[in-house]
Chain A
Amino acid sequence: MTVSRRDKLLAAGLLLLLVWLVVYPILLVLLEGLRGTSGWTLQYVRLFLERPTEWRALWGSLWISVASVVLAGALGLPLAVLFARYDFPGARLLGALVALPAVLPPLVGVLAFLFLYGETGFVSLLVQRLSGMQEPPWRLQGAGAVLLVHAYSMYVYFYLFTRASLASLDASLLEASASLGAGRWRSFRRVVLPQIYPAIGAAALLTFMTSLGSFSAPYIFGGGFRVMTTQIVATRLNGDNELAMVETIALTLLALVALAAFRGSRAPDAPASGRKGIAPAPRALRSRGLRLGLTVLAWGLTALLLLPHLTLLLVSFVPIGTWTVEPLPPVYTIQNYLTLVQDPVRVRPLLNSLWLASVATAAAVAIAVAAGVLGIRHRVRGGRLIESVLALPWAVPGTVFAIAIATAFSVRAPWAGRFILVGTAWILPLAYLVRNLPITSRAILTGFRGLDPSLDEAAASLGASRGRTLRRVTLPLLRPAMLAGASLAFVTAFGDFVTSIMLYTYDTRPVSLEILSSLRQADVGVAAAYGVVLMVVSGVVFAVGADRGSAG
């Protein structure tokens, strides 16, 4: 179809908007890091390079991310093979349960860990009592604790990606391999592994980037152990604004270098056989002993992986100050939840998060749909560029964006596209929006790609205007993709902590910050209740998105 002038103008407008939202703030950070009171200077860069703490934080970010990939892989890969290839009682249920942490906000995971393995946590108390020690058996602090939380919350990437990839294997390939005389191990190494390699690579990349940008875990468990994200926030709180900018640049560079390295070393794409054929059926185990062992192992692992969230649930029913040294809480109450809805101060963050996330989600969906209509349906030149800008925030840690947006929108300079939004209600939806652009647009643009282009042409040949085609054909067909994209965006924004902590105001404080302040006031039950609400809302929204997404 021919590209109309109006489309070209709209596409240019969209690109401009995206550059202003995504690229411009980061460029401003770069500029601020290189400018002093009297013009250009490398003084802050030098300061950064000279301080060993900065190098330690940078190194910390790097190694903890690599270690997280290794550990999460070590946990997630066997789980994927276990659930994809073997059949045992409860396999389906457990397989779904194990994937749960995928939809939970990082802060909830951290909170749950705290209640379980923290100094006054459930397990720690239990061990302390059983061993008769005076002190808690361990302190959940430092690099080890961060790594534990990372592995625990990121194994799902490996689990989900690899499992999906294993499920899409063509059984006839394995049969062909067996008929050519390859044993099980050789089949796995030569046939299965090369096919799931891209999935493993994708999971590793996602884990690495998530760890690099991880903030909640190092912020709460890090103690003396600093990574770049926490370092940036600390520097900024100290008032060393320019140094914080340089740190931000350093973290961005680290992310981009890592991304480039991954892209460069990526395995060749899976062979063309793709999704044809029938997935291999899970193997029922013949040996009863093996079957029993596997079943116990799977149930045990699942329990272990879900224990933190069960603990969170438990703690949310405990009245303040009643659970001190007993292994199980002596008293239960629903008062914590009642507080959330009755106390206006406590309700506020829930309502805040709700509207902030809704606005950000709606905006992200609208932008993604516009990009799809212009770039994919109407094939406007520059569609690819728009897509790249949309995907960019994915490569940049959340802390960086928080700093960038705080920098860009704390100055009034309308001629330069800068307005004072910091301190207003609009800064958080804006930050959430930018952070959500990659996931929302990936889901929605994939939906656009799945639409048969001749549907548009059919509508045109039947005399339908572009508006009517969009309303009657494109959007109804895109509903599943839009729901999927929207639910992902909403869940992320609803539980966001990393950008919120730098940009919130008291009036717009979201749930995550209220959790933090409840913890500080030792109001553990309320914090847990908030956590459970986050968990349930995230789970429900995600399930609705996925369900409607596939049924629609």
Chain B
Amino acid sequence: MTGFLRVEGLVKRFDATLAVDDVSLELARGEMLALLGPSGSGKTTTLRLLAGFETPDAGRIVVDGEDVTRTEPVARRFGMVFQHYALFPHLDVGENVAFGLESSGLRGDDLRTRVARALELVDLARFERRRVGQLSGGQQQRVALARALAPEPRVLLLDEPLSNLDPTLRERTRKEIRDLIRRVGITTLLVTHEQEEAFDLGDRVAVMRGGRLEQVGTPDELYGAPVNLFVGGFVGRSSTLEAMVLSVAGAATRVRVEDVEWEVDPGPGRPLPVPGPAVMLLRPESLRLSPAGPNAVPATVSSRRFVGPNALFALRTDRGASLEVAGPLAAAGPGDRVGVVPSRRSGGAIHLFQDGAG
């Protein structure tokens, strides 16, 4: 499969800082990719390079076989939904949606039909003559989507599409966006710093840090097999412990951690660890509380947080490390002395990272 949208070795430098450092991506037609990263990771710059608002210092952007790297944004036919929507405040809803259609010379009945169809798509059929200032945040966002989609762009770009919404609205809007984009079937790239958003909306997720692409994969791959500590820590809940790898035997790798020995499963798909120091990335569900025993890391419960039928226990080990462990509510309470051991139920959720690998 050659991608419908291909980004090859994109580089963008602002004065001394390398904002985007050799980023390559490939999106299939109709695929939705989420660019995930903390602020300053270069994800928004990547999006702006795609939209044509910035010119890359190196690299190519190819869409449907056409190199658009030097194409002006005006001629690129990429639709964009801006973080703050950038609706034209002096135009009404219909005029906003018509704006892009008029650029391609559409007038009269054709124009009206297309505007009506776009507004219907986002369920705002009766809002055509409203002023944008009269709309709620969620409605404004739908207008922005309708405006971007109306001219039938080749690619849709979304910049933090949910960051401007009330937290209570986010989940619903997320579902609406996902359904809408699936229905339209447009190739979409979205930028977000919220992992939940990225996992929910993206067919695949690309994690960025410091201008570089750290890992691209499905949500399952990123959670289950992070390539480094950063991705592992950025995606999902986790804590870390320093460890010493003693012997390597596949699913029964022995490590020394805080004076006790654990047998852990480093999981498939990663280079086998070698004896020596390592950092363990631990998901809350990959640990369990146990009575203090010879193989349990001694710790004290500092707090307990309810999550559905279970609880998340924040612990401090006797050596001073912080851990987060999932378990039944009744397992312990704040101030209790407990032991921590790897949970056998979740296979492969303990990741060992050694020098050079993160």
Contact = CB atoms under 8 A, between A and B. Distances in A.
Partners in one complex: yes
Interface of A: 1-2, 452, 454-455, 457-465, 468, 472-473, 476-477
Interface in B71-88: 72-80, 82-84, 86-88
Chain B interface category by residue count: 20 to 34
Given A2-B55, A458-B80, A473-B88, A465 B74 contact: yes
A452 B84 contact: yes
B289 to A, nearest CB: 46
Contacts of B83: 454
Interface of B: 51-55, 72-80, 82-84, 86-90, 99-100, 103-104, 147-148, 151, 157
21 contacts: A452-B86, A454-B83, A455-B86, A457-B51, A457-B82, A458-B82, A458-B86, A459-B99, A460-B72, A460-B73, A460-B74, A461-B78, A461-B100, A462-B147, A462-B148, A463-B104, A464-B103, A465-B74, A465-B103, A472-B99, A473-B88
Contacts of B52: 460-461
Contact of B54 (A2, A452, A461, A462): A2
A463 B86 contact: no
The secondary structure that dominates the A interface is helix
A498 B202 CA distance: 68
Contacts of B77: 463
A463 B53 contact: no
Contact of B75 (A452, A455, A459, A463): A463
B78 to A, nearest CB: 6
B74 A464 contact: yes
A452 B83 CA distance: 11
Q: Which are the 9 A-B pairs with shortest beta-carbon distances?
A: A462-B100, A463-B103, A454-B86, A458-B86, A460-B73, A461-B80, A454-B82, A476-B90, A2-B55
A457 B84 CA distance: 12
A27 to B, nearest CB: 34
Given A461-B76, A464-B100, 16 more contacts: A454-B83, A454-B86, A457-B53, A458-B82, A458-B86, A458-B88, A459-B88, A459-B99, A460-B53, A461-B78, A461-B157, A462-B99, A462-B103, A463-B104, A465-B74, A468-B103
Contacts of B73: 1, 457, 460-461
B57 to A, nearest CB: 12
Nearest to A468: B103
Contacts of A454: 82-84, 86
A472 B148 CA distance: 17
Given A2-B55, A454-B84, A463-B100, A477 B89 contact: yes
Given A2-B55, A454-B82, A458-B82, A463 B89 contact: no
A468 to B, nearest CB: 7
Nearest to A460: B73
Contacts of B80: 457-458, 461
Contacts of B78: 461
A461 B51 contact: yes
Contacts of A465: 74, 103
A463 B147 CA distance: 12
A377 to B, nearest CB: 13
A2 B103 CA distance: 21
B114 to A, nearest CB: 13
B106 to A, nearest CB: 11
B14 to A, nearest CB: 13
A452 B90 CA distance: 13
Contacts of A1: 53-54, 73
